[in-house]
Structure formats: structure tokens, C-alpha cells
Structure 1
Amino acid sequence: MTARFTLYSRSWCHLCEDMLAALQQLAPPGAPFEVDVIDVDADPALVARFDELVPVLYGRLEEPELCHYFLDEAAVRAYLDRTATQPTPA
């Protein structure tokens, strides 16, 4: 199963850029993952929810966030390990 992340971000945020770059460096060789970058400023509901918390990183949206402000490498690696052991949906 390909790992997927959602990064809530904003365009002028250097912490957001730093988190995305650090996340991309954790991609295992031969097993890339997908990152959906969502601009919170494009949706007033997202601004209300995240505003000063960005960047906020999720694996599965139905689970708690993996981290915010700075990349939590241990949390991301644990998520990648869990994702790698799950079967691909049919």
C-alpha cells in the first residue's frame, strides 16, 4: 500500500516548506509516498481549524495528526511502517 500524507500549509510559511522538505527526505528508496499539500488560506473552515498550527501533518485523516510546526521523524517512520504492513485494498 502506498503511504499518503496530508500537509495543511500556507504559501508564505517557511515552517511549512521545511516540513515538506524533511518529509520528502524520509521516502524509502523504491517506495515513494504521496503528499497532498492543502493551503489552509483557501478555505475559511481550515483557517478556523488550523490557523496558527500550520504546518500540520496527517497520515490518515481519520487518525490524530502526526505532528505540527516541526516534523516528528519518529511518528512519520512509525506511520510508514504501519502502512507498509497493511494489505493493498482490492
Structure 2
Amino acid sequence: MTARFTLYSRSWCHLCEDMLAALQRLAPPGQPFAVDVVDVDADPALVARFDELVPVLYGRLDEPELCHYFLDEAAVRSYLERSPRADQAAPV
């Protein structure tokens, strides 16, 4: 299983672009991860929830955010360490 992130963002936000670029640089060699970029401006409920907080980065959506405004490398690395990788066999 590939690690997955969700980045709540908006198109004109330079902090959002910076966070996405910094996140992509953290991908371990040979272990890519997926990033779903969600434009908060496309949904009024997301604007109400995140508006001035963007960018907001989540690993699992059922867990607290990893960071907002700026990438927290330690939080992302911790998330990656506890996320199952495709090359790890599932216990039988």
C-alpha cells in the first residue's frame, strides 16, 4: 500500500505550492506516495472549514492534520514510517 496524503489548497496560494513541493521532495527513493490536492474554493463547506488555514496537510483523514501553513517534516516522516509500504508483506 502506498502512503497517501491529502493537501487542502487553493490555486492562487504560494504557501500551498511551497508545501506541495516540499512534500514531494520527502518521498523516499523507490517509495513514492500519492498526494490528493483538494481545492477548498470548489466547496463552500471546505472554505468554511479551512479558509485561512490553507495549506492544510493530512495523512489519514480520520486523524488530526499533520500541519498547516508550512510543512512539518518531522510529522510527515513519522507518518511515512508508520504507513505500510507496498513492499511490506501483510501478516498472515
TM-score (norm 2): 0.91
Q: Corresponding residue for 1:46?
A: 46
Matched pairs, number: 88
Structure of larger gyration radius:
2
Q: What code does the residue aligned with 1:58 have?
A: Y
Percent identical: 86
Give the Cα separation in 2 of the matches to 1:43 and 1:87: 38
Give the Cα separation in 1 of the matches to 2:47 and 2:8: 10
Give the Cα separation in 2 of the matches to 1:46 and 1:8: 9
Give the Cα separation in 1 of the matches to 2:37 and 2:77: 19
TM-score (norm 1): 0.93
Q: Can you list the C-alpha shifts for 1:17-68, whole angstroms capped at 9, x where unaligned? A: 0000000000000000000000000000000000000000000000000000
SS in structure 2 of the partner of residue 21 of structure 1: helix
Structure 1 residue runs of 4+, over 3 Å off? 84-88
Q: Corresponding residue for 2:79?
A: 79
Unpaired runs of at least 5, structure 1: none
Unpaired runs of at least 5, structure 2: none
> 1:84 offset after TM fit, Å?
3.4
Q: Corresponding residue for 1:70?
A: 70
- CA gap 1:87/1:15 in 2 versus in 1, 3 angstroms: farther
Q: What code does the residue aligned with 2:13 have?
A: C
- CA gap 1:82/1:46 in 2 versus in 1, 3 angstroms: same
